[in-house]
Amino acid sequence: MDPISVTVRRGTVVEAVHRVHAVAVEEGRVVEAAGDPQLVSFFRSSSKPIQALPLAREREDVTDEELAIACASHRAGSEQLAAAASLLARAPATEDDFELGPQEGREPSLLGHNCSGKHAGFLAVCRARGWPTRGYVDASHPLQQLLHEEIAAAAELSVERIPAAIDGCGVLTFALTLERMAHSFSRLERLAGGARIAQAMRAHAALIGHEGGSDTELMRARPGWIAKAGAEGLLCVASPEGRGVALKAEDGAQRALRPALARFLGLGEDLAVVPLENSRGERVGEIVAA
């Protein structure tokens, strides 16, 4: 099956077309695919629920809100900032311990960085393990080595088969096929700490992303699902029954993901059609999978 074509229509004219690869995995086997399920990409922020597994296991004191923000790529909303600040204090740590750089378009406080919850969770794990917090972003730090092992275990691959590079927030990100990403999400709730992560994401979908985001909107519209978007047009989800799905837009377009997912899984027109609006809030077109 060819990749999913997502068209952007302004009025009656098609203005852009995005190609999206997708794969669904259940009980270790591919049950549906569009495009190339063996396409390799970096897991980016879609891996955050897996990277939060040590936090869920090591820190029974963290709340669901704090677990959710550790999985989030947030927009610095008031509730998101409060959750990130709460997790950072619980670590215990301060913004001085963050090894994040400033993020363009965000407030000076590093809590406003879209990965601040993840980093606060990393610091909390370091405190629990008695590891130094200085250099926690470095590939040689025991935390980053642990996270590499967590990704490998979730994907059921050896660490040696998973290349790593540096993500936008300075920590490691890992390259996998879409099929292995989907497989990882299909297994998330069966992994140690995974049930806590899934529960927190479902309960606090608004903390995970943002209004209109593919992950937040899917979890709101389909209770029981979990979803996490990643940079460069990536989206990973899991159904309540444990079907894992990974989608990747060839050109990195995030706007193609929700309609592509809806078409791939037959989720209905409420998710399949994304209105295209101008700066006045007027609907001028739509984004829809062909």
- 83's CB contacts (< 8 A; 6+ apart) are 65, 66, 68, 69, 117, 204, 207
Residue 104: per-residue pLDDT? 86
> CA-to-CA distance for 118 and 258, rounded, in angstroms?
24
Q: Which residue ranges make up each domain of the chain?
A: 4-289
- Give this prediction's pTM: 0.96
Give the per-residue pLDDT at 1: 83
Amino acid, res. 190: R
- Of the chain, the end-to-end C-alpha distance in Å amounts to 14
Fold entry, domain 4-289: Beta-lactamase (3.40.710)
| Contact partners, residue 241, CB within 8 Å, separation at least 6 | 26
- 8 Å CB contact between 114 and 77: no
What is the number of alpha carbons within 13 Å of residue 94 lying toward its C-beta?
Answer: 1
Q: What's the pLDDT at 193?
A: 98
* One-character DSSP codes across 230-280: ETTTEEEEE-TT--EEEEEETT--GGGHHHHHHHHHT--HHHHEEEEE-TT
∠ at Cα 68 (67, 74), nearest 5°? 130
CA distance 228 to 216: 8
C-alpha to C-alpha distances, 18 to 218, 219, 249, 261, nearest whole angstrom: 20, 23, 7, 13
DSSP state letter for 156: T
Tens-binned pLDDT, residue by residue, of the chain (290 aa): 899 999 999 999 999 999 999 999 999 999 999 999 999 999 999 999 999 999 999 999 999 999 999 999 999 999 999 999 999 999 999 999 999 998 988 888 999 999 999 999 999 999 999 999 999 999 999 999 999 999 999 999 999 999 999 999 999 999 999 999 999 999 999 999 999 999 999 999 999 999 999 999 999 999 999 999 999 999 999 999 999 999 999 999 999 999 999 999 999 888 999 999 999 999 999 999 98
Q: Can you tell me which residue has the tokens 């979890």?
A: 219
